[in-house]
Amino acid sequence: MSEIRKGSEAQIILTFNASHKELKEAIKRSAELEQALTKTRLENLVAARRTLDSNWKFLASEPDLADADREHAEKLRDMLGRETFFRELSEIEQHANALEVAYSERREAAVDARRRAYEEALITLHTTPGWEQLDEAQQEGAQMSLADRASGEGAAELSIPLLREQTQSCGHVLNAAIEQMLTAVDGNRVTSLSVGSFFAGGIETDEQLEAALEGLREKIAELIATGKKVLVQ
């Protein structure tokens, strides 16, 4: 079209004869695009591309992902890459929506698992001997990290991997809260002791088990003898 506008009469004729079929097809395609790509459908296309570039990257690494979801992703990628994508907008939206549902289900499950883990941790904290000896401010301080996550605080801004990571680390957060609580009650008498260090390398025989337990018993007895209150973790 640019050459036709700028060229000489002879060049215009030659160019038109050589490319009139392409021009006809381009004009037809332009009209189809204008008709098909409404504002809503353009927004849906952007959302579909975002689903493929972002959410699918996470879903693709999930070991239990259904074959149907992988098929949705393959078809979505193929359709978005075609020149005739605008003729398959309904199917594009269907495949993108299916992946969005799969992602949302996993996100909701991760949020729920995080909430339940920290709710149970709060119950454990509240029933640990010594909790009733704290005043209101001390209780609030000890349970703060657990209560925030039990309430779902900040979950909307977190990725699924981070939500899962926080769920897995719930035990460590609980141990820290219990240690803070006991320290408030007994001061510097409280000391924590990691059980895992006594079982490093695993246990394969009864003799190894007895040796590990004996080592743990001796260490706790040693700490008690110095006036410590031992928090076994």
Q: Report DSSP letters for 92-137, one per residue.
A: HHHHHHHHHHHHHHHHHHHHHHHHHHHHHHHHHHHTSTTGGGS-HH
Percentage of the chain lying above the pLDDT 90 cut: 42
What integer pLDDT is reported at residue 189 of this predicted model?
76
Nearest-angstrom CA–CA distance, 231 and 233: 6
Higher pLDDT, 198 or 132: 132
Between 5 and 64, the more confident residue is 64
Note the pLDDT of residue 45: 83
Cβ contacts of residue 119 below 8 Å, gap of 6+? 150
**Res. 199 pLDDT band, cuts 50 70 90:** confident
In this prediction, residue 19 carries a pLDDT of 67
Domain that holds residue 162: 107-232
Of 151-155, 174-178, 188-192, highest mean pLDDT: 174-178
Residues in the chain: 233
How far is the C-alpha of 127 from the C-alpha of 118, rounded, in Å? Answer: 14
| Among 96, 114, 226, CA closest to 166 | 114
- pLDDT of 61 > 90? The answer is yes
Q: How many CA atoms lie within 13 A of 171 on its CB side?
A: 4
Instruction: Give the span between the Cα atoms of 76 and 63, in whole angstroms.
Output: 21
Residues 117, 195: one domain? yes
Q: Are residues 35 and 123 in the same domain?
A: no
Q: Which of 106, 135, 156 is the last residue of a domain?
A: 106
Last residue in a domain, options 91, 106, 121: 106
- Boundary (domain end) residue, out of 83, 106, 129: 106
- Is there a single domain that holds both residue 167 and residue 203? yes
One-letter amino acid for residue 32 of the chain: E
pLDDT at 12 over 70: no
pTM: 0.70
Indicate if 75 and 62 belong to the same structural domain.
yes
Q: What percent of the chain has pLDDT over 70?
A: 85
Q: Within this chain, do residues 116 and 100 fall inside the same structural domain, yes or no?
A: no
